[in-house]
Structure 1
Amino acid sequence: MLLYNKQKKNQNAKGNRILISVTVLGSAGPIRFVAYEEDLVASVIDTALKCYAREGRLPLLGSDFNDFLLYCPMVGPEALSTWNAIGSLGARNFMLCRKPEEKKKEATNGRSSSTINGGARKGGSLKAWINKSFSLKVPSH
């Protein structure tokens, strides 16, 4: 009985666990996982990105948590500070978005061109992919 009580105390040493739901902007549905209330927002972003990649979701996001911001709709329109504890907000639903990048200017042949998000993607834009997906025709019998 004494051994059981020590194990139970060690499990609760880090604090209470909470179920978090993180919706990734542009993804089909939320990611749900358990975190401790004392976990930092940066740790929650990192865990969300790992779960997202493990599930094979699209669009591909990458794994650098510094490129993302976590928002809580109940708290306000500002992004959460990465050094705050996730449980201090009292909320369980969050939105994960990529940080907006400044327009990059490249000088080529005397003229400058601006690109957003680091340049063109390999497969084209998301809008083109959606238009192509909807234009597929299903043959009828």
Structure 2
Amino acid sequence: MLLYNKQKKNQNAKGNRILISVTVLGSAGPIRFVAFEEDLVASVIDTALKCYAREGRLPLLGSDFNDFLLYCPMVGPEALSAWSAIGSLGARNFTLCRKPEEKKVVKEGEGEGRSNSINGARKGGSLKAWINKSFNLKVSSH
């Protein structure tokens, strides 16, 4: 009985456990797992990515938690700080999104003349704009 009480005290030393539901954008359904209220948002993102990969879900995300942001729809539109405690928000449902890629701004005269283009079309440009420029045709959008 004494051993049982010591184990119980050690489990409660870290705090209360909570069931977290993390929805990954583009995935079929949420990932659910148990975390401690004092766990950092960064460790929750890491755990969610590991569970996602273990379950073989698609699309493939990768394993670097620094590439992702965790949002709580109840708190607001801002991403949660990676160093805050997950239980401090009072919420249990979260959304995991990939960080937006930063676009590199290339000034004219820097680098090679056509490094931003492939066959006269810009990377990331729309196909409609390329066709309009190449053939001087007007392609309707409907």
Q: How far has the Cα of 1:9 moved from its partner?
A: 0.5
Is this contact kept in 2: 1:73–1:94, CA < 8 A?
yes
**Which of 1 and 2 has greater Rg?**
2
Distance in structure 1 (CA, Å) of the matches to 2:131 and 2:60:
16
TM-score by length of 1: 0.76
Q: What SS does the aligned partner of 1:19 have?
A: strand
User: Where does the alignment leave 5 or more consecutive residues of structure 1 unmatched?
Assistant: none
Q: What SS does the aligned partner of 1:58 have?
A: coil
Is this contact kept in 2: 1:71–1:77, CA < 8 A?
yes
Deviations 1:48-82 (A, max 9, x none): 00000000100000000000000000000000000
Moved more, 5-14 or 37-46: 5-14
Q: How far has the Cα of 1:110 moved from its partner?
A: 4.0
Q: How far has the Cα of 1:103 moved from its partner?
A: 1.7
Q: How far has the Cα of 1:106 moved from its partner?
A: 12
Distance in structure 1 (CA, Å) of the matches to 2:109 and 2:69:
30
CA spacing shift, 1:115–1:131, aligned 2, 3 Å: closer
- Structure with greater strand share of residues: 1
Q: CA RMSD in A?
A: 8.2
Distance in structure 1 (CA, Å) of the matches to 2:58 and 2:135:
17
User: Where does the alignment leave 5 or more consecutive residues of structure 2 unmatched?
Assistant: none
Length, aligned pairs only:
140
Deviations 1:4-63 (A, max 9, x none): 111110111111000000000110000000000000000000000000000010000000
CA spacing shift, 1:121–1:138, aligned 2, 3 Å: closer
CA spacing shift, 1:5–1:23, aligned 2, 3 Å: same
Distance in structure 1 (CA, Å) of the matches to 2:94 and 2:21:
6
- The list of structure 1 runs, each at least 4 consecutive aligned residues, that deviate by more than 3 angstroms after superposition, is 104-117, 119-141
CA spacing shift, 1:45–1:111, aligned 2, 3 Å: same
CA spacing shift, 1:109–1:130, aligned 2, 3 Å: closer
